[in-house]
Structure 1
């Protein structure tokens, strides 16, 4: 379960931000999660609840998840298309010379703190 490792990284990042900014509490963190990142959002939030309770600064902190759509670029015709619908084959020209542009990311987008 790589979700636990991801959560540890997020927690470490938030704790560092908390120290740098003399925060007393972080109430929520918004995560951008790529549609084809391979991360299971329910596992991520379960791991988050367990991890957040281990740190005073994060206790009660909610994790909000925004899904980033997966988009593939066709190198042959230059058009983009939804990856999940069409996979590797371009629906416009039939080429397999494609690559994923977005949808594999995991980013901390926003932190609500005081």
Structure 2
């Protein structure tokens, strides 16, 4: 289950950023991940929730997850198109000479934290 490894990295990075900002708690994380990573959305959510509950600093934190569909460009005709994981043939010229543009990313878009009152 590589989803646990992915979410461990996300959680570690979010906690580090929150602590560097002087936060008292991590409240939420917004993440974008490409479908071509083959990560299962439900497993990502489950892994995040399990990790969040294990630490008082992150307990109750929420995950806002956006799955990004694969998108490629045809190297023959230049057409850009979305596709599933297995069919990367150009829908215009039927070429398999394509390059993946999106769908393999994993990024933290934002985090929400609780800051101490001054």
Q: How far does residue 55 in structure 1 lie from its aligned partner after superposition?
A: 1.6
TM-score by length of 1: 0.92
Q: Quick check: 1:18–1:57 contact (8 Å CA) kept in 2?
A: no
SS of the aligned residue for 1:92 comes to coil
SS of the aligned residue for 1:36 comes to helix
- What RMSD, in angstroms, separates the aligned Cα atoms of the two structures? 1.5
Aligned to 2:2: 2
Q: Quick check: 2:15–2:26 contact (8 Å CA) kept in 1?
A: no
2:54 and 2:26 map into 1 onto residues whose CA distance is 13
2:91 and 2:85 map into 1 onto residues whose CA distance is 9
Stretches (4+) displaced over 3 A: none
Count of equivalent residues: 114
Show structure 2 runs of 5+ residues with no match. none
Aligned to 1:19: 19
SS of the aligned residue for 2:19 comes to helix
Q: How far does residue 46 in structure 1 lie from its aligned partner after superposition?
A: 0.6
1:15 and 1:82 map into 2 onto residues whose CA distance is 34
1:41 and 1:106 map into 2 onto residues whose CA distance is 13
Q: How far does residue 88 in structure 1 lie from its aligned partner after superposition?
A: 1.8
